[in-house]
Amino acid sequence: MATQRERRARTRQALLDAAADLFAGRGVEGASVDAIAEAADRTSGAVYDHFGSKDGLLFALLEGWVDDVAAVTGAELTTATSLEERMGVMWRNVVDPVVGDGRWIALEHELWSYAARNEEARRYLARRYRAVWDAVGEGVAEWVDGADEVGPALIGLLLGLEMMRRVDPDAVTDDLAITALCGVVSGSNRKAAP
């Protein structure tokens, strides 16, 4: 017989799985709490109990995937020795991640659109990206002197290239993406001329 903790964990996972499918298929605004609960064979009260709101469910879903991708990326970066290899690791883990069934990046794009219309989502996204930018800047500064403030440009380019590849897979090859990412990092340590 399952313990209460095990039942809660199964309910939480069922809600996350249902939300991932519905958010990907209908968008955040098109997936109601009731539809998510029904798809998970749970009640809407379970959504509120576990996540507080639909936004809380969205944020929990993304955090789990982003944490998983960050762990895989971090592990792969430890063996990369050149800037090209490092940018290749970052690119591959965004364009073809081994976790999240490829849904997390689509949901990331959906969150941008949702955040443009929802202040709470915008604040959440801004906090999350600031932390990512800082972490990326610190990591890149270890590879390239003076590149500690490259985080926003690197992440923006990385996600923008992924979006363009999603729209037209032939338009953004791996080589093009890695070259562009290396260019941002290499160019970031140049001081502006007086």
- Note the pLDDT tens digit of each residue in 120-159: 889 988 988 888 888 888 888 787 776 668 888 888 999 9
Query: What average pLDDT does range 5-10 have in this prediction?
Result: 91
Residue 189: pLDDT band with limits 50, 70, 90: low
pLDDT value of residue 148:
67
pLDDT value of residue 107:
80
Q: With helix as H, strand as E and coil as C, how does the chain read? A: CCCHHHHHHHHHHHHHHHHHHHHHHHCCCCCCHHHHHHHCCCCHHHHHHHHCCHHHHHHHHHHHHHHHHHHHHHHHHCCCCCHHHHHHHHHHHHHCCCCHHHHHHHHHHHHHHHHCCCHHHHHHHHHHHHHHHHHHHHHHHHHCCCCCCCHHHHHHHHHHHHHHHHHCCCCCCHHHHHHHHHHHHHHCCCCCCC
The pLDDT > 90 percentage for the chain reads: 41
Query: What average pLDDT does range 20-47 have in this prediction?
Result: 92
Residue 73 has pLDDT above 60, yes or no: yes
List where CATH 1.10.10.60 sits in the chain: 1-52
Architecture per CATH, 54-187: Orthogonal Bundle (1.10)
Residue 59 has pLDDT above 50, yes or no: yes
- Note the pLDDT tens digit of each residue in 151-162: 888 889 999 999
List where CATH 1.10.357.10 sits in the chain: 54-187
Architecture per CATH, 1-52: Orthogonal Bundle (1.10)
pTM: 0.77
